[in-house]
Structure 1
Amino acid sequence: MFEKLDHDRLRANCSLDILNFTTTEEVLPLEGLMGQDRAVQSLAFGLRIKDEGYNIYIMGLTGTGRNSYTMSIVKELAEKQLTPDDWCYVYDFEHPDQPLAISFRRGEGTVFKETMGALIETLKTELPQAFDSDEFKTLRHKVIQGFQQQSINLMARIEQVAKDNQLLFKPTGKGYVTIPLVNSQPATEAVVAGLDASAMQKITERVNKFNYDAEDIFEEIRAHETEAQERMVKLEHNTALSVLGPLIKTLQSRFGDNNTALAYFEALQSDILKHIKNFWTEEEVSPSPLAALQQGSKEPWDTKYKVNLFVDNKDTKGAPVVREPNAVYYNLMGMIEMQHNMGVLTTDFTKIKAGAIHRANGGFLILEAEDLFSNALSWKGLKRALKHRISRIENVPAASTVITGLKPAGIPLNLKVLIIGSYEIYRLLFQLEEDFKKLFKVKVDFETEMNRKEEYVYKMAAFISKHCQDKGLRHFTRDAVCEVVEYSSRLAENQQKLSTRFNDIVELLSEANVWADIAGVTVIDSAHVEKALEQKRYRSDKYEQKIHELIEEGTYLISTDGHEVGQINGLAVYNLGDYSFGRPSRITVNTFAGKSGVINIEKEAQMSGRLHNKGVHILSGYLGKMFAQKFPLTLTATLCFEQSYDGIDGDSASSTELYALLSSLADIPLDQGIAVTGSVNQKGEIQPIGGVNEKIEGFFRVAKRKGLSGKQGVLIPHTNVKNLMLDNEVVAAVAEGKFHVWSASTIEQGIELLTGVPAGTPDAAGHYPPGTVFHEVATKLHTYYADSLKDQNK
């Protein structure tokens, strides 16, 4: 038997007895997160386990606290952990295209960079001074003078050898020449040209003898020249070292426990000594425009002595927590920047930029799944880094048209990655991405609802207290808290549940505070909460009101009284994003002789979804079970959602369609004042549907506009009674007998309510008693079958 519901079953009111306070100002603010025990424990486990691959995927609906709670608990844990090292990139003097990575204790990266900068600036000042000092000049002059004196003595010996061979050894602008002497006089070209062959032979012999006799002296000159150069280099080296040495030792003492830095200091000292002249000679500036362009495209000679402070943790307290809202490849994995210099793209190790993965190294990285997985390169880069536990900076072809020649040293990774996303993304990744299973072994699933126990009702008051305290809102009275609790159950669509969509609840608290402010009161009571809900709906229900106007004026054909055969009011929910509402739709069925079965007109017009198609097919299954056990089901029925110009999907109207089909077959009219919702299975059992509150309220508002007669109402599945959290206006109308809500568990119960005629129970022979709906249906179907046999015999 169908059941008529009393008004007190249409909404679970909150009891004031469990709220032992006047306002939430007296309630201790909530600590932690309520109703998410599974998620809280899972997240705590995932954050504490250090084994490889135990990164975390956090899923749940937006507004359940997954973002705010995750951020707060991660920060709380991070504050108790050690701060990781700083990282710097420096020039590799042996391999210039492979910058070195050096780690330093927190804050020492900045010290290292500043110390290196000060070192180079000091050298630029003190080295020129050292080379310009009187001591250096004296020593340099001594080396030069000694070489010059030796050169003079050796040149005198060469001149004597030349003289002994009747030759003149003479300096010119291009070096030295040997001139033969004829009659003790230097021979001119004309004299040489006039000599006979015998005289020329003698001159050649003298020149050869001179070259042979002077060879040792020339070797001695070259040896003295080399010695002088070596002494000059050594002098410059020692002079530079007198300035550089103490500075390097200071660095070695300051960073003595860093072996990588110590090795770098040795290489640094060697390179500075090798290129010492850069510090005390100025580069010539060419007046040529082309030369100036070429010179401008070169990087400054001292760039290689700079320090790239890649990751700076000096201001980080505890482990870093980095949330990257835009996880494109370079934001996540870092990059090597390029620079336009005189029309040329250039780069160097100082332009290596850290990504979120480097800033979070040693701590926690939080990413949004949709942002991450919409960038294929980002996911590939992240999983490669997590698998190998090292991050390498590189510009990839797909993300940049510029490929650099730099290959910076990789940086070891030790971090926990948390991805916040949807159920759908998690399911797809787990099924299709093999590496995801290995890298994200912890799943944190945030609930959408919690039990409406006294404990959680009081925690809701504590949550309101905390929010009012944090945001400076007025506090809520007990009545107002009850309204919020009931709104939470409405969001959960369950009288025994509370919603964990705290974002929606927070919006209600803020809006109620505004209406209390307008009223000029110091606390928020139930009237302000109701006003907030009313105005929230008013701001969004324009489309709903337009539909009601069209129904009222007769443009949309909806009857709320009278009786019709094969016609019924179905109910659907329209979702506009921030607002959803129910609206009635006229469903009609025509039945006649034929063998086409139940024809879904929406499907024929390609306006029906898969679930709706399934629901319509179930109708044939039910008819076959109930009426075609002794003869084949022979009929044609057309089923249509009238004035439907959008697609239809879902099976929540399948019971409604079946009632209209039975009415048409039995020629028994249905009450047009009763709208129906509920899906049905082949056994005739009414199954629960979603949006039951919106559907009832939608039909109530239409009936109210057309005039409440005290006979209208909605028939719902019995299994949906627990989901009722109806608007106070609807509850009041039911209490006054102006509107009704019925529930049914079977088609038999529903058809009796809609027709006022018993459904009928078959006897042992399978026959339904006369005067019942099913008797009339069976009779009509047998007639169709008998007529089909006559047609066959013809």
Structure 2
Amino acid sequence: MTEQLHNLHYQVLKDTNNMATSLSELKDTEQTAPTTPHPVFIEVEQRCLISAEQLKRYSNPDELPTDTRTAPDLDVGFGQQRALKALQTALDIKASGYHVFAAGENGLGKRTIISRLLTRIASDAQTPDDWVYIHNFTDPRTPLALRLPAGHADLLQQQVNHLWQQAKKRLSQRFRSDQYQSKIEAIKNNTHQKESQAYEVLNAEGKQYDLALTFRSFDNKAVFVHPSQLQTDNEDNENTDQPVNNANKKVDVEDSKETSVNGAEDNDTEYGNSEYETELNNFVQKNHMQKRLSQLTIALEQLEDEANDAIEALHRNIAQRALQPLFAPVYEQFIAHPLVVDYLKAVFADMVTHVERIVNGDDEEFVTAVLATTPSRYAVNVIVSHAPDSGAPVIFEDLPTHLNLLGHVEQITQLGTVTTDVSMIRAGALHRANGGYLLLEASHLLEHPYAWQGLKRALQSRKIKLSSLEQMLTLTGSLSLSPAPIDLDIKVILLGEADLYYELLELEPEFDAVFKVRADFHDDVVRTSEHELALVAKMADIIDYANLYPFDRHAQATLLEHLSLQAEEQDRLSLHSDLLIKLLHESNRHARLDDENIVTATHVTQAISDMDERSGYLRDLYWDELKNGQQLIQTQGHAVGQVNALTVVSYADSEFGMPARLTAVIQPNIGAGEILDIERDVDLGGSLHAKGMLIMTSYLRALFSQHHALNFSASLAFEQSYAHIDGDSATVSEGCALLSALANVPIDQSFAITGSMNQLGEVQAVGGINAKIAGFFDACREQELTGQQGVVIPMANVKQLMLRDDIIEAVKAGSFHIYGVHTLSEALTLMTGLPIDTMNKKGRYRKDTLFGKVLSRLMLWDENQNEEEDIDDKKSKKKDKKKRKAKRQKKEDHRRKDTAKHQKNESEVVDTMNGRKEVIDDEKSIDNDENAKPLDSI
């Protein structure tokens, strides 16, 4: 009972001590900094204070042109010498695969820069050849490609069109002339005369057998019949067949070959039952004449073929004599191009062969002639044509689909039938840029199916082969043309971001073999007087192109300063063309609204302010929450374990800075120095944020674990933060909050702090420094500027400061301060007002330092832990003693039990022995008495 009371007394004392510690940490609003600043604090403050002159680098208007109309000429490759050198290397190498990927952020003007450079190079380059597709008279499904010198494609098309028109006209005249008609009539009359003579001879021979030659009315076939049958037929039919000399009718003797079994002709089915079939001899004679008629018919057919051949020969002769004078000059015109001459000769031969169809216009391939246009059979489809001495083409394809890149064959549907021809072949961007340069947006190219595969295949084979994408996608069986491939000589430049380039290298094995050169475009350039003038020249070029008002020198200076702000570096200038163009246009608008014909610095400032306001919706929501007290930010007073960290919220094309409360809570006598990152545990912290936490944890362990065990655990959290957090810029803030909580030393809430840190305690630069400072300044101004507030930043970030003019004025007035630190110790001194790591002669931190206070509390927690362990040891020993005593008692009881049992057994043995003795004695007594008494008496 006494032992239990002692343990309870110890636990009460322990809880009371911890409660007092927690209460002292929570009394943050009552804790204040020492009234007299520590000398170390004064030294650090003076050393780290950033002057107003360091907060922004101004451009000197006197070094700039009076206005943009007097600006120097623009250097197209300004600031991008590395990229242009890589581009020139690719252009100089003619080997396969030396195409270019221009890597850089969007908005740098990559397309404009490359286009202007290529246009300048292309103007002095050799003009590439023209290409046309023509009809293949041997295989119409495979149109032929002809290569012509620049300017000759249109000429050939014009000449062929002219030839067609003239040929159509001249052939029509020749074939409608009296001379032509008389020759045709002569051939036909001659043929008819021979036919009539042959029929007359055969008819006379038939009369010898009493047979007459006639033509049946229903099929116009010549047959021999008996005159009596002819009379019957005439009575049965109103239309009488003439039996003689019909030279205009074609004789068909197919039925005359049919005979009966006995050799007679079987006319029962065709003429009915003839009453004249009486004698077999008549049938034999008739059959004989039918055979003679068949022989005559064959001869007459040959005669007609000869007549047709004569007519065709006449047509060819007339066509050749009519067309030869038309084609001869064109042959001479293209005598230097044998393939063209061969094509023209093929056209000539085809027109001669199809002269009748051309004249009559009764065929699909020639029907377009009626509309005074060249039919597709003779159409010259100009795929690409260049003016002579126009230089190489520079093409940008903004919609790089498979069809737009490689071309395609169109189709039309007529009466449910899909048709196409050589005139429906359409050129792609590769055709138009052949012999020159093609620019493509890489992201757009990858958006369209088969576009990359088609481009890669063309560049690797160095040929443009048209293929039917419809068949590839739909697996249809419709026929299409398969035009001959065209030789490809081109340089392709893909435009995209660097991340996309590396993704393509990883995912497309052949990408590096096709695009062997990467041209890196820089985001910014060193800020020198020369480069400032070059940027003014760029401004002037944009102003002239957009027809804007000129900008005076002060407006130019303001723009340059804003470009330096966008570069986040005093000594650098942003090269983002999109931002500059936007500012120029919006500044010009303000000048126009003010009825001024020149843009001033005031107009530029208004434009910047308008852009900031348009993108400030989320920022205004935050400030509204700060005003109404929903967002807890303290810019005055002191607090333990609480720091004003600085964050940047980025969305779309805008960002703004704001303070965020960071708190640290210590749990003494629990754990071994573990630090819980709440953001990370709930998946709101990124990997970089976690890295910063681990670095800070490693730093603390290196500082204190060598002196005392880290008998505590801690937790860190960004209060009222519900979005994803990443980056290591809060590492210094987290270190300050944690050390403040460990030492139970308050932090001045008039300060906000940002910075990365390494394991040695050195503070490193962070991003978004200007937005972070502006965010805390606005918060202080909202709550009241006291003259004590300020921001602690890495000293490495001082060169990146391009602050707003109102912040700079506040710094000059002493109502706001900015400090740059090199180490965490300097930051802690500014935040707590105490020296941090001063050591005594024994090599230990002095008790009046921040680290000394941390060690004191660690020692206290260590002592408490030791006392608890001693009590636990006593309890353990007592329990062990009880266990030993109980064990001894158990052994003694067991021994006593064994002894008693043994004694009992011995007593039983003695009693047994005594009983046996008495029995023996009785037996002896009986034996002695046997002699004295009889047996029955016993």
Normalised by the length of structure 1, the TM-score is 0.90
Alignment of 1:637-676 (within 5 A): 637-676=714-753
Alignment match of 1:760 (pick from 837, 841, 862): 837
Return the letter of the residue paired with 1:610.
S
Return the letter of the residue paired with 2:51.
D
1:178 equivalent to 2:178? Answer no
CA contact (8 A) 1:161 1:213 kept: no
Runs of 5+ consecutive residues of structure 1 not aligned to the other structure: 286-299
User: 2:88: which partner in 1?
Assistant: 44
Structure 1 stretch displaced more, 97-106 or 155-164: 155-164
1:715 equivalent to 2:792? Answer yes
Return the letter of the residue paired with 1:96.
P
Alignment of 1:209-608 (within 5 A): 210=289, 220-281=299-360, 283=362, 302-314=375-387, 317-397=390-470, 404-521=479-596, 523-593=598-668, 594-595=670-671, 597-608=674-685
- Provide, for residues 150-184 of structure 1, a one-character-per-residue CA deviation record: whole Å limited to 9, x for no partner: 222333333354456665444444322234699xx
CA contact (8 A) 2:223 2:290 kept: no
Structure 1 stretch displaced more, 220-229 or 740-749: 220-229
- Classify 1:665/1:336 alpha carbon distance in 2 versus 1 (closer, same or farther; 3 Å): same
**CA–CA distance in 2 between the matches of 1:462 and 1:362?**
33
User: 2:52: which partner in 1?
Assistant: 7
CA contact (8 A) 1:361 1:413 kept: yes
**CA–CA distance in 1 between the matches of 2:296 and 2:69?**
107
CA contact (8 A) 1:35 1:449 kept: yes
CA contact (8 A) 1:180 1:203 kept: no
CA contact (8 A) 2:441 2:494 kept: yes
- Classify 1:314/1:404 alpha carbon distance in 2 versus 1 (closer, same or farther; 3 Å): farther
How far did residue 716 of structure 1 move? 0.6
- Classify 1:233/1:758 alpha carbon distance in 2 versus 1 (closer, same or farther; 3 Å): same
Counterpart secondary structure, 2:648: strand
Structure 1 stretch displaced more, 258-267 or 705-714: 258-267
How far did residue 711 of structure 1 move? 0.8
Alignment match of 1:628 (pick from 697, 705, 727): 705
How far did residue 466 of structure 1 move? 4.4
**CA–CA distance in 1 between the matches of 2:493 and 2:363?**
56
**CA–CA distance in 1 between the matches of 2:653 and 2:448?**
29
Runs of 5+ consecutive residues of structure 2 not aligned to the other structure: 1-43, 233-264, 365-372, 873-938
Counterpart secondary structure, 1:280: helix
**CA–CA distance in 2 between the matches of 1:579 and 1:213?**
105
Alignment match of 1:105 (pick from 140, 149, 172): 149
1:769 equivalent to 2:815? Answer no
- Provide, for residues 528-557 of structure 1, a one-character-per-residue CA deviation record: whole Å limited to 9, x for no partner: 433433343234334323322321331100
**CA–CA distance in 1 between the matches of 2:391 and 2:842?**
82
CA contact (8 A) 2:468 2:480 kept: no
How far did residue 696 of structure 1 move? 0.6
**CA–CA distance in 2 between the matches of 1:383 and 1:790?**
77
CA contact (8 A) 1:571 1:695 kept: yes
- Classify 1:14/1:179 alpha carbon distance in 2 versus 1 (closer, same or farther; 3 Å): closer
CA contact (8 A) 1:336 1:404 kept: no
- Provide, for residues 660-686 of structure 1, a one-character-per-residue CA deviation record: whole Å limited to 9, x for no partner: 011111110111010011112222221
Return the letter of the residue paired with 1:272.
M
Alignment of 1:120-139 (within 5 A): 120-139=164-183
**CA–CA distance in 2 between the matches of 1:765 and 1:237?**
123
CA contact (8 A) 2:61 2:556 kept: no
**CA–CA distance in 2 between the matches of 1:450 and 1:478?**
21
User: 1:696: which partner in 2?
Assistant: 773
CA contact (8 A) 2:72 2:533 kept: no
**CA–CA distance in 2 between the matches of 1:546 and 1:212?**
112
Alignment of 1:12-31 (within 5 A): 12-15=57-60, 19=63, 22-31=66-75
User: 1:289: which partner in 2?
Assistant: none
User: 2:12: which partner in 1?
Assistant: none
Counterpart secondary structure, 1:434: coil
**CA–CA distance in 2 between the matches of 1:522 and 1:143?**
90
Structure 1 stretch displaced more, 48-57 or 630-639: 630-639
User: 1:295: which partner in 2?
Assistant: none
How far did residue 501 of structure 1 move? 2.0
- Provide, for residues 395-424 of structure 1, a one-character-per-residue CA deviation record: whole Å limited to 9, x for no partner: 224656765422121111111111111111
Alignment match of 2:125 (pick from 81, 86, 89): 81
**CA–CA distance in 2 between the matches of 1:303 and 1:716?**
77
Return the letter of the residue paired with 1:244.
L
- Classify 1:785/1:164 alpha carbon distance in 2 versus 1 (closer, same or farther; 3 Å): farther
How far did residue 435 of structure 1 move? 2.1
**CA–CA distance in 2 between the matches of 1:571 and 1:65?**
33
How far did residue 55 of structure 1 move? 1.2
**CA–CA distance in 2 between the matches of 1:259 and 1:460?**
55
User: 1:727: which partner in 2?
Assistant: 804
User: 1:686: which partner in 2?
Assistant: 763
CA contact (8 A) 1:569 1:674 kept: yes
User: 1:745: which partner in 2?
Assistant: 822
How far did residue 767 of structure 1 move? 3.2
- Classify 1:195/1:357 alpha carbon distance in 2 versus 1 (closer, same or farther; 3 Å): closer
Return the letter of the residue paired with 1:447.
H
- Classify 1:626/1:474 alpha carbon distance in 2 versus 1 (closer, same or farther; 3 Å): same
How far did residue 765 of structure 1 move? 6.9
Tell me how many residue pairs correspond in the alignment: 777
Return the letter of the residue paired with 1:412.
D
**CA–CA distance in 1 between the matches of 2:707 and 2:613?**
57
Root-mean-square deviation over aligned CA pairs: 3.3
- Provide, for residues 258-302 of structure 1, a one-character-per-residue CA deviation record: whole Å limited to 9, x for no partner: 3333232333333333333322336499xxxxxxxxxxxxxx994
Return the letter of the residue paired with 2:182.
T
- Classify 1:633/1:350 alpha carbon distance in 2 versus 1 (closer, same or farther; 3 Å): farther
Counterpart secondary structure, 2:796: helix
- Provide, for residues 725-776 of structure 1, a one-character-per-residue CA deviation record: whole Å limited to 9, x for no partner: 1112111211111111111111111111111111114569763221111122
Counterpart secondary structure, 1:590: strand
- Classify 1:116/1:575 alpha carbon distance in 2 versus 1 (closer, same or farther; 3 Å): same
Normalised by the length of structure 2, the TM-score is 0.77
- Classify 1:743/1:284 alpha carbon distance in 2 versus 1 (closer, same or farther; 3 Å): closer
**CA–CA distance in 1 between the matches of 2:578 and 2:356?**
67
Alignment of 1:42-81 (within 5 A): 42-81=86-125
Counterpart secondary structure, 2:101: strand
- Classify 1:32/1:171 alpha carbon distance in 2 versus 1 (closer, same or farther; 3 Å): closer
Larger radius of gyration: 2
How far did residue 443 of structure 1 move? 1.8
CA contact (8 A) 2:641 2:739 kept: yes
- Classify 1:270/1:786 alpha carbon distance in 2 versus 1 (closer, same or farther; 3 Å): farther
